């Protein structure tokens, strides 16, 4: 099991316990990847090839609000 964090722009799109799809995208240029959670509910930061997420779905463990916005912790199985 592995936990990853995604940034969400607004509340009410998902809740703890939801199992959502994870979509991988690659940035042009440097070898970096980013991930989208569900129907674009939240987005990850950039990952190097050695940090890639290979699971295609994850379970929402926690949704929290900070001064920088809303963050979602997702558990993935790889």
Is residue 8 pLDDT above 90, yes or no? yes
- Torsion sign (Cα): 11, 17, 21, 23: positive
pTM, entire model: 0.91
Give the pLDDT confidence score for residue 49 in this predicted structure: 94
- Residue-wise pLDDT for 16-51, tens only, equals 999 999 999 999 878 999 999 999 999 999 999 999
Q: Residue ranges of the domains in the chain?
A: 2-76
């Amino acid at each position: 099991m592995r936990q990853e964090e995604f940034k969400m722009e607004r509340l009410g799109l998902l809740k703890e316990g939801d199992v959502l799809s994870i979509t991988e995208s690659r940035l042009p240029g440097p070898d970096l990847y980013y991930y989208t959670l569900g129907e674009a509910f939240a987005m990850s930061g950039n990952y190097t090839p050695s940090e890639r997420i290979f699971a295609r779905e994850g379970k929402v463990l926690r949704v929290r609000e900070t001064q920088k916005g809303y963050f979602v912790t997702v558990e993935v199985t790889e």
